[in-house]
């Protein structure tokens, strides 16, 4: 059983065929604009920009917010290093904040403690798709005059107190990688209510000029350094279909998560993930927290031998050498050592879920 598997088929192929027939396969074209409009509406934001991946969306967001050399940006520690990398790429310094032991999202108290005179903003992460404590994050940012960015890479379809992921900060970045809730293989997006931020990001994502589709100037002028971070119209057409699929995909993932949680709730060797009552979890991943006595390496090998793909959760970023010497963050470091990701996607059959459950129980008994 694969760890993740996309749900794609004839509808996506038909959408790609339409793009082929249109003659516009390049990036930032009509299919991208259509997807951007729908994504903005879906996330409850005013504006969206499709990008090549979530990393480029995060970087663009930080650039247009003004992060640069000499600045510090507080970053939730337990995350794939694309989050911290985006800060480094602007020339700013990431300062990592520890996480809570229930949601594994950034701990508001740890964020507050990490603020210095050089701090300009905060980047929080919706871990496995479940949002953290955004009312607290917003209050801290406002109290200290900081901007707030939501790394919503895994969070398509999540909500926090009825508000959709993507609408919870000044800017938010999504991923459409193959393991995410909706996918075109790769891709990303930046969403916001701030038109000036999105329009500046749009310019920067196309080498520093307005994209060709809809451009008014006959001969555009390059007046600042930009990048090629455009999403192709082929990918945008696939994502447009995936948006239609999302309610059904989320329902299936939530059903799988419910079965896992019921099956593993009484295990002494592992703790099931917490689902917080005032938010909806999209279950991009299902992460078991193994007991300290359990050898995760042995469990990984045993599950793979039984045909069940699995891996660790994500990274305690402060332990990665690329970031240099960092303060100890004990909760994140502990979770990094003990998290186990098991298959989670909308293509899992009941029989496969049963096999995963049996394999996990067997591996934790061995």
Q: Are 153 and 51 in contact (CB under 8 A)?
A: no
- Provide the pLDDT for residue 320: 97
**According to CATH, what is the number of the domain 10-242?**
3.40.640.10
**Catalytic positions, please?**
180
Q: How far is CA 183 from CA 53, 89, 186, 188, 284, in A?
A: 11, 25, 7, 9, 12
Mean confidence (pLDDT) of the chain:
97
Task: Give tens-digit pLDDT for 21-70.
Answer: 999 999 999 999 999 999 999 999 999 999 999 999 999 999 999 999 99
Q: What angle do CA 167, 145, 76 make, to 5 degrees?
A: 60
- Provide the pLDDT for residue 87: 98
Mean pLDDT for the stretch of residues 146-162: 98
Give yes or no for residue 366 having a pLDDT over 80: no
Mean pLDDT for the stretch of residues 94-104: 97
Task: Give tens-digit pLDDT for 286-299.
Answer: 999 999 999 999 99
Instruction: Tell me if 10-242 shares its fold with 246-365.
Output: no
Q: Are 129 and 284 in contact (CB under 8 A)?
A: yes
- Provide the pLDDT for residue 38: 98
Give yes or no for residue 202 having a pLDDT over 70: yes
Q: How far is CA 155 from CA 87, 120, 166, in A?
A: 20, 25, 8
- Provide the pLDDT for residue 365: 87
Question: What is the pTM assigned to this prediction?
Answer: 0.96
Which residues lie across from 124 on neighbouring strands? 150
What is the residue extent of each domain of the chain?
A: 10-242, 246-365
Q: Are 264 and 273 in contact (CB under 8 A)?
A: no
Burial of 328 (0-12, 13-18, 19+ CB in 10 A): exposed
Mean pLDDT for the stretch of residues 79-88: 98
- CATH class of the domain whose range is 246-365: alpha beta
pLDDT category of residue 215 using cuts at 50, 70 and 90: confident
Q: Are 190 and 52 in contact (CB under 8 A)?
A: no
Mean pLDDT for the stretch of residues 241-254: 98
Give yes or no for residue 78 having a pLDDT over 70: yes
Q: How far is CA 33 from CA 8, 118, 200, 355, in A?
A: 21, 37, 16, 42
CA distance 14 to 17: 5
């Amino acid at each position: 059983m694969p760890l993740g598997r996309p749900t794609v088929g004839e509808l996506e192929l038909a959408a790609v065929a339409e793009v082929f027939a249109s003659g516009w396969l390049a990036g930032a074209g009509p299919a991208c604009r259509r997807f951007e409009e729908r994504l903005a509406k879906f996330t409850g934001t005013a504006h969206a920009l499709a990008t090549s991946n979530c990393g480029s969306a995060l970087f663009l967001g930080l650039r247009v917010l003004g992060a640069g050399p000499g600045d510090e940006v507080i970053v939730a520690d337990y995350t794939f290093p694309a989050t911290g990398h985006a800060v480094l790429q602007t020339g700013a310094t990431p300062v990592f904040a520890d996480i809570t032991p229930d949601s594994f999202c950034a701990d508001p108290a740890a964020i507050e403690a990490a603020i210095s005179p050089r701090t300009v903003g905060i980047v929080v992460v919706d871990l496995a798709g479940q949002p953290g404590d955004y009312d607290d994050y917003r209050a801290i940012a406002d109290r200290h005059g900081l901007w707030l960015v939501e790394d919503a890479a895994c969070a398509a379809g999540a909500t926090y107190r009825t508000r959709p992921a993507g609408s919870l900060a000044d800017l938010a970045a999504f991923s459409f990688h193959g393991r995410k809730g909706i996918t075109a293989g790769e891709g990303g997006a930046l969403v916001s209510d701030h038109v000036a931020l999105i329009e500046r990001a749009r310019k920067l994502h196309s080498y520093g000029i307005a994209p060709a589709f809809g451009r008014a100037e006959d001969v555009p002028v390059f007046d600042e350094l930009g990048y090629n971070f455009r999403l192709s119209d082929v990918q945008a057409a696939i994502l447009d279909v995936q948006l239609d699929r999302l309610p059904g995909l989320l329902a299936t993932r939530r059903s799988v998560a419910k079965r896992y949680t019921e099956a593993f709730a009484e295990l002494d060797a592992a703790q099931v993930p917490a689902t917080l009552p005032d938010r909806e979890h999209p279950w991009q991943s299902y992460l078991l927290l193994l007991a300290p006595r359990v050898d995760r390496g042995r469990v990984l090998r045993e599950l793979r031998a039984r045909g069940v793909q699995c891996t660790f959760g994500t990274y305690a970023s402060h332990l990665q050498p690329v970031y240099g010497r960092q303060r100890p963050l004990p909760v994140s470091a502990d979770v990094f050592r003990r998290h186990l990701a098991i298959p989670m996607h909308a293509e899992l059959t009941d029989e496969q879920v049963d096999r995963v459950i049996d394999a996990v129980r067997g591996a934790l008994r061995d």
